[in-house]
Structure 1
Amino acid sequence: MQFSVSPDEVIEYYRDELTDAEIYKALANVEKDPRLKEELIKLSNYETQHAKFWSEVARAMNLDVSNIKPSKFMVSYSVVIRRLLGLGFLVKLRESAEVEAIRRYGEAVRRRALGPLTDRLREILLDEVAHEEVFREVGSRFEGLIENIRDAMYGMSDGLVEVLAAVAGLAPVVVNPILITLAGLIVGAAGTLSMAVGAYMSTKAQQDIRETKLSKLDIELENLDVEDRSRRVKNALVSMGLNEGEAQEVASMISTDLNVSKKITAAGEIGYLEEALESPGRSALYTGIFYLIGALLVIAPFPLLGHLIGNVYSLFISIILVAIAQGISGLITAISGSGKVMRTIALNIALSLGAAGATYALGTAAHTLFGLSIT
C-alpha cells in the first residue's frame, strides 16, 4: 500500500495514542466519580484501538514499533495536575493537544494520506472529536472560574511589566533603594487604579451593548411568527458566540416567549454565553488587586535587600520573581484560551524582560552620559 505519511509521523502518532491510552487509564484509577471513571476507561480503550491501527500502518510500511513506549512523564504529569488542580484544569490543559490531533488527522483524511485505510482514520478522527464532548460539562464548570483567573493574570502581568520597567530604569540612577521603592509604589498605585477603572469600563461597555441588542431584539420579535422568531433568535445567539447547533437548540426553547432578552440572559447564566458571566465589578476587582500584587512582587527586593546587596542585585532578584510569575501567568492564560502553553509562557517572559532591559539601558545611559544620580 502507498501512504503519503512519513515513517516519523506514523511513529509519533502511535506513541501519542499509546500515551493518551495510559493517561486516561491512570486518570480512571484516581477518579472517584463513577460516571467520569467509566468514561475515562472507555476513552482509554478507544485510544488503545487507535494505537493498534497505527501499529498496523507501521507494519504495512515495514516499521518496527515494538520498542515504542508511552511517555511515562506525560502520564505522571497528568495525574499530578489532576490531583492538585482538578479534572477541569487538566481538561483545559489537554484541550490544545486534542485540537492539534484533530487538525492533523483531518488534514490526513482530506488528502487521503492512508489510501484504502483513510476511512478507518476518519473513524478515529470522529472518536477524537467525541472526546471533546465527553468533558464538555467538566470544562464548562471550569469556565466561570477561569474567567476570574484570567482577569487576575492579565492584571498581574501588567503590574509586573510596568513596574519592573519603571524600577529597572531607576536602578542605575537612584542610589537609595527606599526612593526606588517609593517610586515603584507610586507607579503601582496609579496603575492599579487605571487598570481597575479600565477593566470596569470595558466590561460594562460590553454588557451595555449586549443589553441594548437584546432590548432591540424584543421589540423586533413582537411582530414575527414563531418560525421567523426562532430564526432571528438563532442568528442573534450565533452573533454572540454560540455555534450553530447550540444556537438552534436554545432558539427552539425560548423563541415562543416575546420577552426573549431575559431568556437569552438566563441561557448565558447556565453556560451558553460567555458574556453573560462577566461582571464589571468583579473584573475590576480581580484586575486591580492582582496588578497591585504584581507591582509589590517587583518592588519587594528593594526595601528588603537593597541596603545589603545594592540596587542592581535587587533588580536581578526582581527579574527572577517576574520570570516565575510570568511563567505561571502564561500557563493560566494559555489554558484559558486553549493556546500553546510553552509559546505563551516564553512570550510573556521575553516581553517582560525586554521592557526591563530597555529601560535599564536608558537609565544606565542617563547615568553615564549626563552623570545623573539621585541619592
Structure 2
Amino acid sequence: MVSSTELKKALIQQQNEINDHALYLALAQREKEPQNREVFVKIAEEELEHYRFWEKITGQKRKASPLLIRFYLLLVTIFGTSFALKWVERREKWAEAFYCSLFDAYPEARKIYTQEQLHEQKLVGMLQDKKLLYAGAIVLGMNDALVELTGTLSGIALAFEHTQTVGITGAIMGVAASLSMAGSSYLEARENPDKTIRATVYAAYTGISYILTTAVLVLPFFLFSRIATALAVMFAGAVVAIMAYNFYIAVAKGQSFARRTSQMLLITLGVALISFAIGYGVHRYFGIEI
C-alpha cells in the first residue's frame, strides 16, 4: 500500500509515461528512416508498459495531454529531435530515483528502471539530427560575431560620440563580415568528408547566425542616445545570446552548460575589454569625435 505522498508521485509518473508513449508514437509516424522509426515504436511500447505498471499501483487511468504532445513536437520542429528528446529524458532522472525506492515492494520496478536508463543510449545511437549537424556553423557565425562585434563596438564607442554612428558602423561591418564568413564556411564545408553536410546549407547557417547576432548587438545603439547605456544593453544582449545558445547545446549534446557558457563569456568579454581600452586611448590622446 502506497502512502498519500507516494500516490501523488505515482500519479505524476503515470501521466508522464502515457505522455511519453503518445510522443514517441507521434515521432514514429513523422520519422522517415525505418530503423529510427522502429526504435521510436519500441520505446513507445515500453512507455505503455510503464504506464500500466503505475495504473496497477494507483488504480486510476490517465490520458495523454494533447497540448503537451503538440508542445514537444513544436520543440522538435524548431530545435531538432535531439534537443526535445534530451529535454524529455532529463525529466526521467527524477523517475529513475522514484523507481529505485520501489524495488523491494514492486520487483517489476527494477526492470522498468533498467529500460529507462537504456532509452537515452538508444536515442543517442540512432539520431542523425540535421540541426545538430549544423551546430558547428551556428557556433562559427555566432561566436565570431560576438567576439568581433562586441570588441569592435566597444572600441569605437568611445572614439565616436554618437550612438547612431557606432550602430551604423557596426551594422556595415557585421553584414560584410557575415558574407565573408558564409563564403569561408562554404569552402570549408566542401572539404568536409561528412557527406551529410551540404555546403550551401552550412554557409547559410553561418551567415544567418552572424547577421542575427549583429542585429542583437547593434540595435541598442539605435535605441539609446547615451553611449554608456547602449554599451550596457549590448553586453546584456550578448550575455543572453551566449546563455541561450549554450543552453540549447548543453541539453542537445549532454554537455556542461556552466563550462561552455563561462568559456564563451570570458573570450567575448575579454576581447571587448581590450578593445574598449584601445578605444579609450584613441579618444583620449587623439580626440577623435564623430
What TM-score comes out, normalization by structure 1 length?
0.49
| Contact 1:156-1:287 at 8 Å conserved across structures | no
Look up the match of 1:77. Answer: 71
- Specify the SS of the correspondent of 2:254: coil
Look up the match of 1:20. Answer: 20
Q: 1:374 to 1:299 in 2, by over 3 A?
A: farther
Q: 1:324 to 1:55 in 2, by over 3 A?
A: same
Taking the aligned partners of 1:166 and 1:20, their CA distance within structure 2 comes to 47
- Specify the SS of the correspondent of 2:165: helix
Look up the match of 1:297. Answer: 215
Taking the aligned partners of 1:351 and 1:70, their CA distance within structure 2 comes to 41
Look up the match of 1:133. Answer: 122
Cα distance, 1:78 vs structure 2 = 1.4
Alignment of 1:156-305 (within 5 A): 156-168=142-154, 170-171=156-157, 174-176=160-162, 177-179=164-166, 181-182=168-169, 289=207, 292-293=210-211, 296-298=214-216, 300-301=218-219, 305=222
Is 1:337 matched with 2:289? no
Cα distance, 1:115 vs structure 2 = 0.6
| Contact 2:239-2:265 at 8 Å conserved across structures | no
Taking the aligned partners of 1:191 and 1:294, their CA distance within structure 2 comes to 10
Q: Percent identity?
A: 11
Is 1:153 matched with 2:69? no
Q: 1:73 to 1:160 in 2, by over 3 A?
A: farther
| Contact 1:171-1:180 at 8 Å conserved across structures | no
Look up the match of 1:355. Answer: 269
- Specify the SS of the correspondent of 1:114: coil
Q: 1:337 to 1:286 in 2, by over 3 A?
A: farther
Taking the aligned partners of 1:186 and 1:32, their CA distance within structure 2 comes to 42
Look up the match of 1:49. Answer: 49
Taking the aligned partners of 1:171 and 1:190, their CA distance within structure 2 comes to 19
Cα-to-partner distance string for 1:242-284 (whole Å, 9 max, x where unaligned): xxxxxxxxxxxxxxxxxxxxxxxxxxxxxxxxx86699x99x9
Cα distance, 1:6 vs structure 2 = 6.0
Is 1:94 matched with 2:97? no
Cα distance, 1:327 vs structure 2 = 6.0
Q: 1:318 to 1:114 in 2, by over 3 A?
A: same
Which of residues 106, 116, 125 in structure 2 aligns to 1:117? 106
- Specify the SS of the correspondent of 2:160: coil
Cα-to-partner distance string for 1:166-198 (whole Å, 9 max, x where unaligned): 42465366313425654786699799989x99x
Cα distance, 1:95 vs structure 2 = 2.6
Look up the match of 1:240. Answer: none
Cα distance, 1:310 vs structure 2 = 5.1
Q: 1:151 to 1:133 in 2, by over 3 A?
A: same
Taking the aligned partners of 2:8 and 2:155, their CA distance within structure 1 comes to 49
> May I ask how many residue pairs the two structures share in their alignment?
281
Taking the aligned partners of 2:73 and 2:206, their CA distance within structure 1 comes to 34
| Contact 1:189-1:292 at 8 Å conserved across structures | no
Cα distance, 1:297 vs structure 2 = 2.5
- Cα-Cα RMSD: 5.9
Taking the aligned partners of 1:287 and 1:34, their CA distance within structure 2 comes to 24
Amino acid at match of 1:117: Y
Taking the aligned partners of 1:71 and 1:355, their CA distance within structure 2 comes to 44
Cα-to-partner distance string for 1:314-367 (whole Å, 9 max, x where unaligned): 556645764675466335523541347xx57x948x949x939x849x77xx69
Q: 1:292 to 1:373 in 2, by over 3 A?
A: farther
Taking the aligned partners of 1:113 and 1:42, their CA distance within structure 2 comes to 24
| Contact 2:243-2:261 at 8 Å conserved across structures | no
Is 1:31 matched with 2:18? no
Amino acid at match of 2:22: E
Cα distance, 1:156 vs structure 2 = 0.8
Structure 2: gaps of 5 or more residues:
none
| Contact 1:166-1:184 at 8 Å conserved across structures | no
Larger relative contact order (Cα-Cα within 8 Å, sequence gap ≥ 6)? 1
